[in-house]
Amino acid sequence: MDTGMRHDRKVALITGVTGQDGAYLAELLLDKGYIVHGVKRRSSSFNTSRIEHLYEDPHVENPRFILHYGDMTDSTNLIRIVQETQPDEIYNLAAQSHVQVSFETPEYTANADGTGTLRLLEAIRLLGLTRKTRFYQASTSELYGKVQAVPQNETTPFYPRSPYAAAKLYAYWIVVNYREAYGMHASNGILFNHESPIRGETFVTRKITRAVAAIHLGLQDRLYLGNLDAKRDWGHAREYVRGMWLMLQQDEPEDYVLATGETHSVRSFVEKAFARVGMPIDWRGEGPEEKGYDKISGRCVVEVDPAYFRPTEVDLLLGDPTKAHTKLGWKHEISLDQLVSEMVREDLKVMARNVPLVGANRGLVHA
Ligand code: NDP
Ligand code: GDR
């Protein structure tokens, strides 16, 4: 199947299309008229819930959204997909993306997130597509780790604090190297945390908004969290995928920070989320003993569980998106309060349908 060359439409290939960003990006590119190919992993159960609304019957003529089975750990498979699709743009979003999980699966994380990026770049090079195919790499504010300056911009030195960040550091530099060595249009988006109602359930924001909805509806008693003092620069994923696309539309490839320029603690996110369901939080105790009580009922609804503490933590992230603003015309519009409201509202809808709670909320997953 050579779906790339017969159309006037631009062709994009997205790895990690079943994830939060993959789903928003596929939607954006389809809206822009692209033909979108997505790489999804084979799993024993459906993992396509975020992109079901984009699904097209593969038997229709000239489908514009096409899925391929693939894995970042499998070179020949990646080469075949790039060969078949001949993409104008590749967005490399696939990753083992959970920082805490990377401490438990460091080698796999290095393979998928670090070497996986190299495999994809090599596929482009081996197939002679270095001039045709533009490349976006999902780099991360986790690269700053133990931060060397506040706020962080494109020139702030990196200091990774997890196997995930170390793997992404390799990916960052191999992208820079392929750009310089082979003249590829390859860019790193150094994206600060971005969330949404379809954020993975074990990342802290979604874990909080799901628990708030479940506690409000009487489906759960308590929310267990780790470090409440960590500070993050949280934006909305829908706005960030637009920034990815803008990077590949520039004449020259460059690296860009996407961030809001504001930072808030996990504790503050918890307060904002509970406030949406009319539960003001009163904190008592310190460190691992800290608990959050609903001021109105006096009930304990938040507890610290040291199992969620990380061996090395990233304490404070605050991005400076000036370059993206100046060169790409990109700026975030959605405030943290709006983001929290949307996430709690959507989780209330999901919980009200009484979807069985899985993963973090049942304590099946420690992350
Ligand atoms: P998600 O965890 O929601 O999605 C990750 C995607 O990668 C999923 O589609 C997953 O498939 C896929 N994937 C995982 N391992 C492999 C593999 N070995 N081979 C092929 N596919 C694989 O992440 P996000 O959408 O939140 O993030 C997208 C990218 O951006 C990631 O690389 C992440 O590290 C990075 N990033 C994210 C930020 C954020 O705040 N969201 C900030 C900065 C960077 P499956 O559905 O089967 O699990
Ligand atoms: P992060 O996101 O590690 O920043 O990586 P996460 O939401 O997992 O953690 C943010 C902060 O919250 C603290 N925290 C908890 N985290 C989780 N997951 N669960 C808890 O119970 C909990 N309690 C406190 C964490 O310690 C941390 O400080 C995300 C991912 O999307 C990466 O892929 C991406 O690169 C970065 O954002 C930017």
Query: Domain 201-232+264-315+335-362 sits in which CATH superfamily?
Result: UDP-galactose 4-epimerase, domain 1 (3.90.25.10)
Is any ligand 1 atom within 6 A of the Cβ of residue 200?
yes
Per-residue b or e along 59-96, where b marks 16 or more CB atoms closer than 10 Å to that residue's CB: eeeeebbbbbebbbeebebbbebbebbbbbbbbbbbbb
Quickly state the pLDDT bin for 2 (edges 50, 70, 90): very low
User: Which ligand has an atom closest to residue 231 CA?
Assistant: 2
Task: Report pLDDT for 363.
Answer: 44
- What is the atom index within ligand 1 of the atom nearest the CA of 20? 25
Q: Say yes or no to pLDDT of 78 above 80.
A: yes
Confidence band for 55, pLDDT divided at 50, 70 and 90:
confident
Question: In the chain, which residues fall in CATH 3.90.25.10?
Answer: 201-232+264-315+335-362
Q: In this structure, which residue's CA is closest to atom 25 in ligand 2?
A: 227
Res. 272 pLDDT band, cuts 50 70 90: very high
CATH of domain 11-194+234-258: 3.40.50.720
Active site residues: 140, 142, 164
Give, as one character, the DSSP assignment of residue 141. Answer: G
CATH 3.40.50.720 residue window(s) in the chain: 11-194+234-258
pLDDT at 49 over 60: yes
Mutate to test the pocket of ligand 2, among 97, 103, 188, 204 (most ligand atoms within 8 A of CB): 204
Query: Helix, strand or coil for residue 118?
Result: helix
Ligand 1: centre distance to CA 141 (Å): 15
Note the pLDDT of residue 356.
Answer: 55
How far from 306 is each of 23, 156, 187, 202, CA to CA, in Å?
A: 33, 31, 38, 16
For residue 122, CA distances in Å to 93, 126, 128 come to 16, 6, 10
What's the CA gap between 57 and 59, in Å, rounded? Answer: 5
| DSSP β-ladder status, 65-69 and 35-40 | parallel
pLDDT bucket at 362, cuts 50 / 70 / 90: very low
Q: What is the pLDDT of residues 137-164, one digit of tens each?
A: 999 999 999 999 999 999 999 999 999 9
Asked if 95 and 16 count as a contact pair (C-beta separation under 8 A), the reply is yes
Residue with token string 């954006």: 28
Please compute the mean of the pLDDT values over residues 161-190 and round it to a whole number. Answer: 99
Name the percent of the chain lying above pLDDT 70. Answer: 94
DSSP structural state of residue 362? G
Beta-bridge partner residues of 257: 190
Distance between CA atoms of residues 60 and 51, nearest Å? 18
Q: What is the ipTM of this complex?
A: 0.99
Evaluate whether 283 touches 200 at the Cβ level (below 8 Å). no
User: Would you say residue 361 has pLDDT above 50?
Assistant: no
Task: Out of 16-25, 57-66, 356-365, pick the least confident.
Answer: 356-365
Over residues 278-308, the pLDDT tens digits come to: 999 999 999 999 999 999 999 999 999 999 9
pTM across the whole model: 0.96
Nearest alpha carbon to residue 123 among 95, 97, 87, 170: 87
Q: Residue 360: pLDDT above 60?
A: no
Q: Is the CB of 110 under 6 A from ligand 1?
A: no
pLDDT in tens, 97-144: 999 999 999 999 999 999 999 999 999 999 999 999 999 999 999 999
